[in-house]
Amino acid sequence: MTSPRDGLQDLELSNGYRMGEFCVILKERFWRNYLDTESNGRMAFAELCQVTKDMGRAKNVKGMWLKELDHAATDFFSKTEPGLAAMTEMDLFRDFIVSAFGSTLQVWNYLHMDTSRTGMLLPPDFEDACKTIGFQGNTGYVYQCLNTDLWKNCVARRDFDPEKHPEPQEDRAATAPGKLHSSQSLPDIRPKTSPHQPRTTKAADEILKTSLQQIKMRRAIEEKHRKANVGMKSLGELKTLLVARYGNLFSAWRQALDLDGNGRLSFGEFCLAMRDLGYTGNSKAAWHALDSDNDGFIQLDDLDPETEHMVTSYRDAATDKFGNMLASWTDMCKDGNGVIDKATFAAHCKHLNWTGNVGLLYASLKNDRTRKHMSLRDYDTPAHMAFLRGDYEMITESKVEVSTDFLERNSNSFRQRWNRAQATSQIAAREESAFNDRKKDKASNDIESLRELLLKKYGTLTSAWRFAFEESENGKVYFVQFCNAMRCLGYAGNIKKCFHDLDKDDKGHLLLEDLDAESADIIKSFRKLLLKKYGSYIKAWAALDYNKSNSLDVDELVTVCKYIGYKHDAKTLFRCLVEFPGKQSISMGDLDPAAMRAYYRGDLEAMSPQEKGAAARKKKEEEMLMARKSMMGADDLNSLKMELMRKFRTMTAGWRFGLDIECNGKLSYVDFAKACRGMGFIGNIKGCWKELDDDDSGLITFNELDPDWYDKISSFSEKLLDKYTSYESAWKKIDADKSRAISAEEFVEVCADIGYEGTKKECRQLFKQLLSPQETTMKEKDLQYGGIVTMAVNRGFRMTMKDSDLLSKDDQAKLELKRRATVAQMEKSKVLGAKDMQSLKKELVRKYGSITAAWRYGLDPAQNGKIGLVDFGKACRNVAFVGDVNACFKEMDDDDSGVITFNELDATWFERLSSFQECLLGKYKTYQSAWNAIDTDKSNTIGCEELVEVCAEIGYPGSAAEVRLLFKQIIKDQSQKFVAFEDLQFGGVLVKTVTGLKTADFDDDLLTQDEKGAALRQKRATIAAEELDKVMGANDWPSLKKEMIKKFGTLTAAWRFGLDVASNGKMGLVDFSKACRNMGFVGDIKTCFSQLDDDNSGIITFNEIDSECNKQLTAFHQQILDKFDTYKIAWQVIDENGNNELDEDEFLQICKANAIQGNPRYLFRQHLKKGMSQITFADLSGVGDIVKDTRRAALRHSSTLLPAE
């Protein structure tokens, strides 16, 4: 309610009364009649405004409220406000009348007041009467207080005391219920004393005594009636009565209160309900107590919130599940008897996943407590009414939101919805009638009867599929084939409908699972298991048919299924595979007819399209699984660091390319969060940030991520700039060969030159830290990034990129002008092209990277080793040569032979290539033999450092630096990092043309024709045998050994992951047999086991599998444990970068640093898993477990103890 002190305009009284006089009259005359109509003892400003408006007062109401009434500023005033203290005169008049005459009745009847017997007193008559009875007060005030009717200027008998002078019956009837008449007043309950009490006569005493007795008698009767009234008088008693009469409040709500079922009560409905229930209390007070939200209605939520929540939650669950309450009842009352019991209702609630009090809900819904069953009327009244109307979708009880679209509004009208519902019902009735008619028809006319017919004719549905439907054996039946088959079977129904009923997913063809899903699943799972275990049906049949009888009976199939781990019933599988009932065995054709035909035509790798697709899908799923595993994000700081190491190989590269993308050496929180999310980080980014930001600067730098490597990088950067002053000068000095890249050895020399404190090993580690991922050589930007990282932390570090940064502004301007002139001259020379032999060579080197590559791809693309004038002219034009081609050709053709060879183009590099070719062929005779000897890791490539080792081995006279330059001449282009076989061959072509050097590309070139023919036949036989072994599987130990190497990469990995899966270090015949079968071994397992078991101990170890490998591995691990005691300590030492992986280069450096004897490349491959390029701690310790028994035996032999592992 708005306070009367907020924004009301001042008003003034329009009659002649003073403010105090009006307040006096206002209190007595209208307090109970018009002001305090609710009898709450107080009045608000809005109520006062309404009263003054009804009285015809329209001015200064706010002033009267603020000055005379609401002194306490409470926004209310009561009868006892100080502003109404002027009513004392009226109180004194009433005390005088009661004291002198006993009651107002006495003073009026005995003509003390109404002397003229007119029933009313005018103002002069009233003043005379007051003088007569001896009242000395202000008669004018008293008269105005008694004059309750503003429109007449007189006082009647009932104005004196309405309780003792009641109004006529017709007046009471005219008075509205709940509103008092204007002549009514409150009874006087104050003490009957007055300071002006006059002396009384004897007659007055008798009248007073009689009046007092009558009052006492009346009060006694009223008290007796009050005690006799035991009806409901409060809200609590009302609820108690409702529960006692109806069982619960919800039943009482539906049966006694909400009779129309609309879910709410108006005040009139509430009063009628209270009257019917016999409520004798204050109905209006009860209404206001229940209507807490003052919306003018009472709902079940106001009466019992818990019950309302329970019923509403159940109805929501039922509506969400079934659409409406009638559908929910229909689902519950499936037997059609129209009632349900408590158990059925409980099962229904469980089906809905409703977790409330089922018993209480059932009792609340059931109106009659004496019944044990609940009817639809009890369950939901609107649903019952809709059911009686035949409205099974409850359209008449549902409300649709009105749409602004005409078509949608028209479509959702009641008439349209009702017509659609009736049409749906009629269609369902017709379909039911047609179904009953078809059911009476005994001919096969639907899917179920078709299945019965097929079972009766063929015994099984799989046999019926093979012989009745599947013509092409591709597993599919199209509509035309289906129609032909159905006509042959005598099908009398709708063939098209039957086809579409079977083809539920609209494939356009039928599969076995459409006809018999269970049998199809059994056969499919069996075939899938065979493909997974053996690779093809032909191999699988070879393993299943262990007695080579070309058939399997039911007992043999049961045994085989148990052996291979088939989970379904083997006998059911036999019935699904057998050709027809009564046949006692199955063949390969029953397993897969296509495989049988492929076997007879020699196609041993046959696989049906379905199995090929399954295999392809499985492979794709495995690849996706591996991809998801590789994408699993980190979830804390340590795992984030590990993820950076795994992805970028070093912590510095992880900071540079994973976090500090903009390469400014520092990172804000926003950039850090973006980088973490980009790497798939799934943890608390804010927590990681706070953990890294040690100084709470709002930025993180590399020293906060990895302090150790920051110290090393900053130390290197400071010493580098101390010596060379700028990175430009440093790079010019370091990159002496102008290759724009430096290797690890060159970096070690740089560290020694600038005085960096660290061993060669530490320098190589620093080199790896500064490298970009997947790079093996350092670029200038890699070197500069160390200064960026240092400058972000050390503000005193001055980073100078170019020499010009050290010059003054004038010198820088001069240098810039000189640079622009040089660039312009270079651009001009590029446009004009070469014009003599020297500029032609420079252009060739610029375009192809090296003079050898220029000869190979620019001059001699046919690779003849020599070129004539015509070819030379074409090559010159291709490089935009603008000089005299003939003169340039003659300048190169020293011997005037008419052709140019490589030695005439560049004699120096020809001599070096010639020397290399002679040394290479002098040792290995042919390029094939040389390549087989050089390419030890079988990668078909040779790196730069490998070429250095090769040159040292063949006796090439050049230094290591010269060999690296030779490497750049041999490769195709400078972006290539490896030498291929054809690169070696081309060097021979260059030399052979000039020197006549005899070269042979392949070993067969050195053989005679007869020897070549014999070698070719032997090669073909070997290939055929290998292909047969691939198809049929291994059948002896040598072929099994090859199969294991092909599958696992090495025999060590084959022992770890194929044979000794339990990691016992040994295995018996049973475990060996399982492993052989898993690898498709089709030979005699016992014979193979006996060949391996040299000591006839009944078990085989890895030493018996590969004794030479076991010997080298034993020596290697013995050295590791002698040096580090345990594998855990050894791994902590050798895993220097902490990425939990070792690549081949790191392994070779570790072996070299720790003086490990043996072939390190061979040992590294023995620890690898197939498909991996790094080894882990599990690989190191796992191979150690293989050779553990051999080491223990050696230690026992030498009487030493084995260290703890």
**Per-residue pLDDT at 343:** 86
Q: How far apart are CA 450 and CA 515, in angstroms?
A: 10
Q: In this predicted model, what pLDDT tens digit does every residue of 468-526 receive, in sequence order?
A: 887 666 778 888 888 888 888 878 778 888 888 888 888 888 888 888 888 888 888 88
Name which residue leads in pLDDT, 780 or 136.
780
The encoded tokens of residue 1014 equal 């014999």
Q: Residues 1190, 1196, 1197, CA angle at the centre, nearest 5°?
A: 90
Q: Residues 1154, 1160, 1163, CA angle at the centre, nearest 5°?
A: 115
Mean pLDDT of 600-629: 66
Long-range contacts of 183-190 (CB under 8 A, 24+ apart): 183/33, 183/148, 183/149, 183/156, 183/158, 183/159, 184/32, 184/33, 185/28, 185/32, 185/33, 185/161, 186/31, 186/32, 187/163, 188/94, 188/98, 188/161, 190/91, 190/95
Name which residue leads in pLDDT, 597 or 791.
791
Q: Are 764 and 745 within 8 A, CB to CB? A: no
**Per-residue pLDDT at 850:** 86
φ, ψ for residue 584, nearest 5 deg: -100, 0
- The residue behind tokens 């063929």 is 458
Residue 411 has pLDDT above 50, yes or no: yes
- Burial (0-12, 13-18, 19+ Cβ within 10 Å), 458: middle
**Per-residue pLDDT at 1202:** 34
Residue 188 has pLDDT above 70, yes or no: no
Angle between helices 537-544 and 593-600 (to 10 degrees): 90
Tell me the β-bridge partners of 279: 232
The encoded tokens of residue 523 equal 């056969």
Q: In this predicted model, what pLDDT tens digit does every residue of 710-729 receive, in sequence order?
A: 888 888 888 888 888 888 88
Task: Kindly indicate the confidence band of residue 839, based on its pLDDT and cuts at 50, 70 and 90.
Answer: confident
φ, ψ for residue 353, nearest 5 deg: 65, 30
Q: Are 781 and 773 within 8 A, CB to CB? A: no
**Per-residue pLDDT at 164:** 54
The encoded tokens of residue 1000 equal 């042979």
Report which listed range, 605-614, 659-668, 990-999, is most confident: 659-668
CA 558 and chain centroid, separation: 45
Tell me the β-bridge partners of 900: 867
Q: In this predicted model, what pLDDT tens digit does every residue of 1173-1203 receive, in sequence order?
A: 788 888 888 888 887 766 555 444 443 333 3
- The residue behind tokens 């069996």 is 526
Mean pLDDT of 1122-1133: 81
The full DSSP string for 192-226 is S--TTPPP--HHHHHHHHHHHHHHHHHHHHHHHHH
- Burial (0-12, 13-18, 19+ Cβ within 10 Å), 28: buried
Q: What is the amino acid identity at position 218?
A: R
**Per-residue pLDDT at 190:** 37
Mean pLDDT of 849-853: 85
Tell me the β-bridge partners of 121: 155
Q: How far apart are CA 872 and CA 837, in angstroms?
A: 12
Q: What is the 3-state secondary structure (H, E, C) of 833-902?
A: CCCCHHHHHHHHHHHHCCHHHHHHHHHCCCCCCEECHHHHHHHHHHCCCCCCHHHHHHHHCCCCCCCEEH
Tell me the β-bridge partners of 451: none
Q: Give the CB-side neighbour count of residue 1014, counting CA atoms within 13 A.
A: 5
Mean pLDDT of 115-125: 72
Mean pLDDT of 327-343: 83
Q: In this predicted model, what pLDDT tens digit does every residue of 95-114 receive, in sequence order?
A: 777 777 766 666 666 545 66
Instruction: Kindly state the helix (H) or strand (E) to which residue 675 belongs, with its residue range.
Output: helix 669-678
Q: Are 650 and 771 within 8 A, CB to CB? A: yes
Q: What pTM was computed for the model?
A: 0.31
Mean pLDDT of 846-854: 84
**Per-residue pLDDT at 103:** 67
Mean pLDDT of 729-735: 83
Name which residue leads in pLDDT, 399 or 1168.
1168
Mean pLDDT of 1071-1099: 84
Three-state DSSP state, 729: helix
Q: Are 461 and 516 within 8 A, CB to CB? A: yes
Q: How close are the terminal C-alpha atoms of the chain, in Å?
A: 86
User: How many other C-beta atoms lie within 10 A of the C-beta of residue 1013?
Assistant: 11
**Per-residue pLDDT at 79:** 58
From 29-33, 73-77, 186-190, 909-913, the region with the lowest mean pLDDT: 186-190
Mean pLDDT of 742-771: 86
Mean pLDDT of 320-341: 84
φ, ψ for residue 701, nearest 5 deg: -120, 175
Residue 349 has pLDDT above 60, yes or no: yes
Residue 250 has pLDDT above 70, yes or no: yes
CA 957 and chain centroid, separation: 64
Q: Are 512 and 468 within 8 A, CB to CB? A: no
Name which residue leads in pLDDT, 775 or 70.
775
Task: Kindly indicate the confidence band of residue 10, based on its pLDDT and cuts at 50, 70 and 90.
Answer: very low
Q: What is the 3-state secondary structure (H, E, C) of 1146-1174?
A: HHHHHHHHCCCCCCHHHHHHHHCCCCCCC
Q: How far apart are CA 776 and CA 785, in angstroms?
A: 17
- Give one word for 508, left, alpha or beta, with left for phi > 0 and alpha for psi -120 to 50: left
- The residue behind tokens 């009285």 is 55
Three-state DSSP state, 443: coil
Residue 579 has pLDDT above 80, yes or no: no
User: How many other C-beta atoms lie within 10 A of the C-beta of residue 922?
Assistant: 10
Q: In this predicted model, what pLDDT tens digit does every residue of 528-540 receive, in sequence order?
A: 888 888 877 888 8
- Give one word for 7, left, alpha or beta, with left for phi > 0 and alpha for psi -120 to 50: left
